[in-house]
Structure 1
Amino acid sequence: MAGEEFSLPLRVYIEDTDAGGIVYYVNYLKFMERARTELMRSLGFGKDYIFTHDLMFVVRDVAVKYLKPAQLDDQLRVTAVITMLGGASMTMEQAIRRDNEVLARGQVTIACVERAGVRPRRLPEDMRERLAPLAR
């Protein structure tokens, strides 16, 4: 289904916050990373697949807009939607929500690279075939 949104629920713990009980800004990136990882895992591209195919994904570009703070014990929902699928990269739009309120929005481009030399490589064809219908 084109533009399908993946959603990951998570809770804010004390380790995610600063001294004021507000989520520390870099942790929003960690939350987004978890959603991207779980999206790929849900499609059959977990660590076993990644290691078997001698590849890894690295963040090439990221932009985040922080709108409202998340706080200790909040129940959040982190989403990811593939918006662009290239030969060796993909871009995802991501959001972090508390109920229906958007707390942060991000756009992340990840590149597929070979593990050994960390050089760009094309997405494996079976991965591309599974991801293509999901891209907006």
Structure 2
Amino acid sequence: MRAQNESGPFAIRCRVYYEDTDAGGIVYYVNYLKFMERARTERLRDLGFVQSRLAAENLLFVVHSSEARYWAPARLDDELQVNAEVVELGRARVRFRQQVTRVGDGTLLCEGHVLVACVRADNFKPRAMPVAMRTAFAADGPGLY
């Protein structure tokens, strides 16, 4: 898995392994959500925030809701590009637009939105995002801050 440094939404690349597929030899639908999670985690890391350190600061991100559309199947050994673009930013939440495409032919395989909430690690109640983090996310798109 590696980050892609091109213009446009933040993206990582990953490979489909046997463990990602179902009995039909295609990527099991829930695994697209795992690929999306990895892209969001790497986006945080790219911005300078490591989730294991955030927990020590009494901050966690939890998925509040997700929605996905599946357009075409990925198969064993496909290389995928998974993006994570911030489209909405609140005091204690971030909404990402995410797409999974096959690198070989650019086919859109899955797309969706994931709403992530910022909560306290000790009681899971909402908390405001640190200003530095909110500012970093706001740089992802115009009009977000």
Cα separation, 2, equivalents of 1:120 and 1:4: 30
Check conservation: 2:69, 2:112, Cα contact below 8 A: yes
1:9 maps to which residue? 13
Deviation at 1:4, TM superposition (A): 4.5
Residue 89 (str. 1) matches residue 93 (str. 2)? yes
2:31 maps to which residue? 27
Cα separation, 2, equivalents of 1:87 and 1:6: 21
1:113 maps to which residue? 119
Q: Give RMSD over aligned pairs.
A: 1.3
**What is the aligned residue count?**
134
Cα separation, 2, equivalents of 1:124 and 1:135: 18
Q: TM-score when scaled to structure 2?
A: 0.88
List alignment gaps of at least 5 residues for structure 1. none
- 1:33-64 deviations in whole A, cap 9, x for unaligned? 00000000111111343123211001111000
List alignment gaps of at least 5 residues for structure 2. 1-6
Cα separation, 1, equivalents of 2:64 and 2:8: 23
Give the one of 125, 128, 131 matched to 2:134.
Answer: 128
Q: 1:123 to 1:4 in 2, by over 3 A?
A: farther
Residue 76 (str. 1) matches residue 80 (str. 2)? yes
Check conservation: 2:51, 2:60, Cα contact below 8 A: no
SS of the aligned residue for 1:45 comes to coil
Structure 1 runs of 4+ aligned residues shifted over 2 Å read: none
Return the letter of the residue paired with 1:44: G
Return the letter of the residue paired with 1:32: M
Cα separation, 2, equivalents of 1:87 and 1:28: 27
Return the letter of the residue paired with 2:111: R
Q: TM-score when scaled to structure 1?
A: 0.94
